[in-house]
Structure 1
Amino acid sequence: MTATAPITQDVMTIPRAIPDGPVNLVGLTREELRTALIDAGTPEGQAKMRERQVWQWIYEKGVRDFGAMTNLAKSYRALLAERFVIAIPEIVTRQVSADGTRKYLVRIAGGHEVETVYIPEEGRGTLCVSSQVGCTLTCSFCHTGTQRLVRNLTAGEIVGQIMLARDDLGEWPEPGRAPKDETRLLSNIVLMGMGEPLYNFESVRDAMKIAMDPEGISLSRRRITLSTSGVVPGIARTAEEIGCLLAISFHATTDEVRDKLVPINKKWNIRELLDALRDYPRLSNSERITFEYVMLDGVNDSDADARRLVQLIKGIPAKINLIPFNEWPGAPYRRSTDARIKAFANIVYRAGYASPVRTPRGEDIMAACGQLKSASERAPRKRTAPAE
C-alpha cells in the first residue's frame, strides 16, 4: 500500500517538544511497542512474546506498575521500569449529572485540558472522547467551536481517556481472577468530543486500533463511532484503516444554511460530502451511516427541510439522529419546539428512515452534545513568572 499524505487543517497547531526521560508505552502501536522493547535491550527472538505480555498487562488488566507484571522476570521488570512509563492523562475534576452522566476535565501534556463524557444507559455505557484541544471548525451552534484550536491529542492521550474512565468505573479485572462477564459499563466509544477526529487522523486511528485489539480493551469496531463534520478526504481512509461506524454532523439541507452552521461546508459542500458517503458502508463493511441533525428553531427545522433531507440521503443506508439543541451561555440559537421536532421526525420516519430524537444527557453539568468547552484556551495566555 502506498503511503497516504496526512490530512491537514488550515491552521498551525502549537508544536510539542519531545519529552526527555522514560518513554510512555501508552499509545504505541504493537509494532512501535515491539521496536521500543528491542531498543531497550530485549532480544529480538523474545520481542514478540514480550510485546504481547506487556500489551496485555496494560490494556487487558489495566496495570501501570511494571513490578506487578508477574509473568516477567524481576530483572526484566526492572529494565522496563528504568526505560519506560505507563502514564495516562490526569482527571482534574469529575462532575456527575443528576442522570448519572459523568464529565471529566482531563489534563494532558503541556497543562492543556480536554473534556471526556461517560453516558450510562441500560445494559451499556458510552464514552464520548475528545481528539483535539479546542477545535478549528467554528460550527456556530457548538460551544467547543468557540474555543480556538491549541493542538492535536496524541494516540496515548486519546486511548488514555478510555483507560481513565475504566479506572473511574472500576472496570479492570481484579488481580488474580479471570476476566469478569462482558456486561460492560463502558461498552461503546463515540469520537464526538472536542475537536474534528479526521484532522487528527493518524492518532485517532492508532488509538482506536488499540481499543479494538482483542488482547486488550477489545471493543468491536461496531462499538466505535467516529463523527466528522465532513472532512471528505478522510472518509475513505476511515473505512479502510479503521472500519468503525461513521456519523456525520450534517445539520442542514442547503449549502447556504450549512455554510453558516458548519463552515467546513465551504470547502467540501453537501454534494461532495454525500458522494464520499455513498461508498462508505461497502468499503468498511459497515452498517448504516448516522446523520446527526441538531434542531434549531426557525433555522433548519421546517417540513421542507425534512423532505429535502430524505431526498438528499436517498440510496445511502442511514439513520437520522435528531438532536434538540443544547443551549449554552451566549448561544445564538434556540432549541426547536417539541412539536416541531416531532413533526420533522414523522416526515423522516414515513420516508423509511429511523429518526430517533436524542434525549439530552448531562445538561446540568454542560456535558451534553455541543456543550463541551474546557478552560484550556486560557493556558497559552498565561505567563510563567521569571525564576528568582
Structure 2
Amino acid sequence: MLPTVTPSAQTRVSKRHLLDLTDADLAEWMKQQGQPKFRVGQVWSWVFQRRADSFQMMSNLPAALRQRLEEDFVIFQADEAACQTSSDGTEKLLVRLSGGGEVECVLLRDGIRRSICVSSQVGCAMGCVFCASGLDGVERNLTRGEILEQMLRLQSRLPEDERLSHIVMMGMGEPLANLNNVLAALDVAKAEKGLGISPRRITISTVGLPPAIDRLAAADVPFNLAVSLHAPNEALRNELVPVNRKVGMDAVLQAADRYFAANGRRLTFEYVLLGGVNDDETCARQLVKLLKSRNVMLNVIPYNPVAGLPYLEPTKTAIAKFRQILEQGGVTVKFRQRKGGEIDAACGQLRRNRQTAG
C-alpha cells in the first residue's frame, strides 16, 4: 500500500507525471541520459508488476539514474483525500488530483475476482438525473496518467499474491467523451509489460455517444461495451438521461449493434432500477420488446439512494416481478448484487458528501 508520507503537492506538480509518458517518450529521455533502451522496460516492470511507488526502490537501476528519474518525474502525482472500506471488502478512494478536482475509484472483491471501477473525467456532462457524479457538471478530462494512477493505487491495496483481474471504465465521467486518453490508458493496462489484463476483461461504459462508439469499434480491440440504457422508451430516457434528447435511443441502439457486428463481443445494457419510475411491468415488457432479438446481457442495478435526490430504491416485490417478466420474455438478465452501499459506493457519492459536509 502506498505510504502516507508523500512529496509535497507543489514538488509533485513541478515534475512530469511518469504515467503520462509513452514508451517512446521514456526511451528518448533515457537516450538523453546516455542510458540504454532496455532501462525503459525495467522502469515499467517496477511500476506495474512490482508496484514501486518511488524510484529509489528500483534496485537494478544505477543509483545515478534513480536520482535523475527522481529529479524529473513523479510516479504518483495525486493525493488520497479519503478512503472507505465496506464489510464486503469493497474499498473506495477519493483521489485529489494535482491538475484540479477530485475523482473516485473503487476496488471490488468477489470470490477470486479483483475488479476495479475507474473514473475518466472530473464530474460528468451527461446529466443523468439520479447520479451524484454529474450534479455539478463536468470540469475536465483526466489525462492518461491520472487514469493509470487510479488503477495503480487500487492495485497497491491488494496483497502481493493477488492481482487485478477486471477493469470497468464506469466511475465518474463519460469514458467516450475522453476516448483518446481512455484508450491510451487501457493500452497500458492490457499490455504484458503493463497490468497484463486481457481486453476481454475490460469494460467501457457509456450512456451512448454513437460517433465515439463507432471510433471504439474501429480501434479493433475486443473491449466489452456496456450501454447505460436506464429506460425502455424515448420519452422516459429523455427524462432520465437528458443527453438522449440530442442523440435519440434508436441511434444509440444502432451504434451498439454496429459495435457487436465489428468485434463479436456480447453487449451489456445497464439499467438502474428506480423505485416507482422505471420499475413497473409496462417498462419490463417494453424492455423485452427492445432487447429480445439482440445478443445482449441486461445488467439491472437496484438504485443506491443519493442524499438530496428524490429517487428511491425499488421494493423487493417490484424487483421480483420485473425480473420474472424479463426472463419469461427471453432476455438474458443479471441483477447486480449491490456492493459497498454502506460506504457511499454509488458513483460520485463520496465526493458529493464531502463537498456538502465542507
Instruction: Tell me the TM-score normalised to structure 1 length.
Output: 0.82
- 8 Å CA contact 2:94–2:351 kept in 1: the answer is no
Q: Given the alignment, which residue of 14, 24, 30 partners 1:31?
A: 24
SS at the partner of 2:83? strand
- 8 Å CA contact 2:17–2:75 kept in 1: the answer is yes
CA 1:239 to 1:296, structure 2 compared with 1: closer, same or farther past 3 Å? Answer: same
- Distance, in Å, in 2 between the alignment partners of 1:136 and 1:318 is 27
- 8 Å CA contact 1:105–1:116 kept in 2: the answer is yes
5+ long unaligned stretches in structure 2:
1-11
**Residue-by-residue CA offset, 1:299-355 (whole Å, 9 max, x unaligned):** 222222222213223443210111111111122222222122222112222233321
Report what 1:140 is aligned to: 129
Once the 2 structures are TM-superposed, how far is the Cα of residue 116 of structure 1 from its aligned partner?
A: 1.3
- 8 Å CA contact 1:274–1:313 kept in 2: the answer is no
**Residue-by-residue CA offset, 1:271-307 (whole Å, 9 max, x unaligned):** 0001101121232342x11111111223222222222
- 8 Å CA contact 1:131–1:197 kept in 2: the answer is yes
Report what 2:233 is aligned to: 254
Report what 1:385 is aligned to: none
- Distance, in Å, in 1 between the alignment partners of 2:26 and 2:292 is 45
After superposition, where does 1:1-388 map in structure 2 within 5 Å?
21-38=14-31, 40-42=32-34, 46-47=36-37, 49-171=38-160, 180=161, 184=163, 186-241=164-219, 242-286=221-265, 288-368=266-346, 371=349, 373-374=351-352
- 8 Å CA contact 2:46–2:52 kept in 1: the answer is yes
Report what 2:8 is aligned to: none
- 8 Å CA contact 2:132–2:352 kept in 1: the answer is no
CA 1:269 to 1:376, structure 2 compared with 1: closer, same or farther past 3 Å? Answer: farther
Once the 2 structures are TM-superposed, how far is the Cα of residue 30 of structure 1 from its aligned partner?
A: 2.4
5+ long unaligned stretches in structure 1:
1-18, 172-179, 383-388
CA 1:23 to 1:269, structure 2 compared with 1: closer, same or farther past 3 Å? Answer: same
Q: Which segment is superposed worse, 88-97 or 321-330?
A: 88-97
Identity among equivalent positions (%) equals 40
Q: Which segment is superposed worse, 140-149 or 361-370?
A: 361-370
CA 1:22 to 1:331, structure 2 compared with 1: closer, same or farther past 3 Å? Answer: closer
Once the 2 structures are TM-superposed, how far is the Cα of residue 369 of structure 1 from its aligned partner?
A: 5.2
For 2:117, the aligned partner's letter is: C
Once the 2 structures are TM-superposed, how far is the Cα of residue 78 of structure 1 from its aligned partner?
A: 3.3
Once the 2 structures are TM-superposed, how far is the Cα of residue 98 of structure 1 from its aligned partner?
A: 2.6
Once the 2 structures are TM-superposed, how far is the Cα of residue 51 of structure 1 from its aligned partner?
A: 2.0
Once the 2 structures are TM-superposed, how far is the Cα of residue 213 of structure 1 from its aligned partner?
A: 0.9
For 1:35, the aligned partner's letter is: E
- 8 Å CA contact 1:115–1:374 kept in 2: the answer is no
- 8 Å CA contact 1:103–1:365 kept in 2: the answer is yes
**Residue-by-residue CA offset, 1:342-385 (whole Å, 9 max, x unaligned):** 2211222223332121121111221135745447879xxx9xxx
- Distance, in Å, in 1 between the alignment partners of 2:132 and 2:215 is 28
SS at the partner of 2:168? strand
Once the 2 structures are TM-superposed, how far is the Cα of residue 31 of structure 1 from its aligned partner?
A: 3.0
For 2:193, the aligned partner's letter is: E
- 8 Å CA contact 1:147–1:377 kept in 2: the answer is no
- Distance, in Å, in 2 between the alignment partners of 1:244 and 1:346 is 30
Instruction: Tell me the TM-score normalised to structure 2 length.
Output: 0.88
